Amino acid sequence: MNLTNTLEIQETFPDIADEMLKAQTKDVNLYYKDFHALKNINFAIKANTVTALIGPSGCGKSTFLRLFNRMNDLISGVKITGDVLLEGENIYKKGIVVDELRKSVGMVFQKPNPFPKSIYENVAYGLRVNGYDHKDSIDEIVERSLKQAALWDEVKDKLKKSAYELSGGQQQRLCIARALAIEPSLILMDEPASALDPLSTSKIEELIYDLKNKYTIVIVTHNMQQAGRVSDYTAFFYLGELIEYDKTKTMFINPQNIKTQNYITGRFG
């Protein structure tokens, strides 16, 4: 089912009221020079859920994810049309301050990318660049964020140590803690477990599940099982188009589109 407007989204998810939508896109097109990378995407993200974006590589899912914190702006030659709403406000309208927007949208990247600083300073970074400098409250937030990221017990005795002394999985949880510290209203995760071993991956997945209570999460993944395990909703992208978007359970049991079916069953991808 190709969703072309918000009305259809409402029809698909009658249980979603407007105020429950964390973010929305309306007729979004993205061009990279001559390449039409995202084609007329209409999409909605429900608050306090995990939404998975799946599809073969190059389908535009990562580009779509980066719409919500305007990371695509960093690439020259990108042109975007349509509206992207975050809590009802168009984040591409004039007068939006990009770094202010990014403060309210956290992001976790494919490979763990902690700064070459101490564990403490990594988590405090977002606070510092946004002008918080009250030491006690920073201490408090760092501790809270590390606890939320299920990392506190492992690092509480070595906060001053370099983040590079942590294992890959710990580093990725540190990056999640770093994103949580600025209390984002939306968290974007770009294949957050793809560079990790199975054990670390399952820890990250548990974490994502726990965070749902407080945050809204969009996760890009190429791992079907992962999408099935952690997400409430799943969207399937193909060649820059949103092919199908539904509750994860529905989509995995009974995909509407033959392309979705082929992808989920592993016939291409």
Partner 1 sequence: MNRKRLKIFEKVFGAVLFSSSTVTSLTVLFIIVFLFNEGIGLFNSTPVEKKYQFIVSNNNTVKELSSKQLKDIFNYDITNWKQLGGSNDSILLFTINDLSTYFTDDELGANFENLPSKINELIKKNPGILAYLSDKYVPQHLEGHVIPLTKISIKDFVTGTEWYPTSEPAPQFGVLPLILGTLWVSFGAILIALPLGLATAIFMAEVASQRLRNILKPVIELLAGIPSVVYGFFGLVVLVPLIQQLFNLPVGETALAGSIILGIMALPTIITVSEDALRTTPTSLKEASLALGATRWQTITRVTVPYARSGITAASILGIGRAVGETMAVLMVTGNAGVIPHTFLQPVRTIPATIAAELGESSYGGLHFKALFALGILLFLITLIINTSVELIKSRKRS
Partner 2 sequence: MMSFIHKRIKQKIAFSIFGLISMIVVGILFVILGFIIFRGISVINWGFLTKMPEEGMTKGGIFPAIVGTLCLIAGSMIFAFPIGVLSAIYLNEYLKENWLKKFMRSMTNNLAGIPSIVFGLFGMALFVNKLKFGDSILAGSLTLGLLALPVIIRTTEEALKSVPDHLRIGSYALGATKLQTIRRVVLPIAAPNIITGLILSISRVSGETAPILFTVAAYFLPKLPHSMFDQAMALPYHLYVLTTSGTNMEASRPMAYGTAFVLIMIVLIANLLANVFRRYFGKKNKMN
- Structure token digits, residue 159: 């906060």
Question: How many Å apart are CA 104 and CA 231, to the nearest integer?
Answer: 22
126 binds, among partner 1, partner 2, none (CB under 5 to 8 A by kind): partner 1
Question: How many Å apart are CA 221 and CA 234, to the nearest integer?
Answer: 10
Q: List binders of partner 2 among 111-140 (CB under 8 A).
A: 129-131
Q: List binders of partner 2 among 82-111 (CB under 8 A).
A: 97, 99-100
**Residue 201 dihedral angles phi and psi, to the nearest 5°:** -60, -45
Q: How many residues bind partner 2 (CB under 8 A)?
A: 6
Task: Compare residues 97 and 199 and give the one whose CB is closer to partner 2.
Answer: 97
Position 100 contacts partner 1 (CB under 8 A) = yes
102 binds, among partner 2, partner 1, none (CB under 5 to 8 A by kind): partner 1
DSSP state letter for 161: S
Question: How many Å apart are CA 147 and CA 23, to the nearest integer?
Answer: 27
SS3 category, 204: helix
Question: How many Å apart are CA 223 and CA 3, to the nearest integer?
Answer: 24
Question: How many Å apart are CA 219 and CA 52, to the nearest integer?
Answer: 5
When binding is defined by CB under 8 A, the residue of 12, 29, 90, 113 that contacts partner 1 is: 113
Position 151 contacts partner 1 (CB under 8 A) = no
Position 198 contacts partner 2 (CB under 8 A) = no
When binding is defined by CB under 8 A, the residue of 13, 32, 109, 152 that contacts partner 1 is: 109
Q: List binders of partner 1 among 118-147 (CB under 8 A).
A: 125-126, 128-130
As measured in angstroms, the least distance from the Cβ of 97 to partner 2 is 6
CB atoms within 10 A of CB 32: 15
153 binds, among partner 1, partner 2, none (CB under 5 to 8 A by kind): none
As measured in angstroms, the least distance from the Cβ of 247 to partner 1 is 29
Question: How many Å apart are CA 80 and CA 213, to the nearest integer?
Answer: 32
How far is CA 71 from each of CA 95, 102, 110, 188, rounded to the nearest angstrom?
17, 9, 14, 11
Residues that bind partner 1 (CB under 8 A): 69, 71, 74, 76, 99-100, 102-107, 109, 111, 113-116, 125-126, 128-130, 175, 178-179, 182
Residues that bind partner 2 (CB under 8 A): 97, 99-100, 129-131
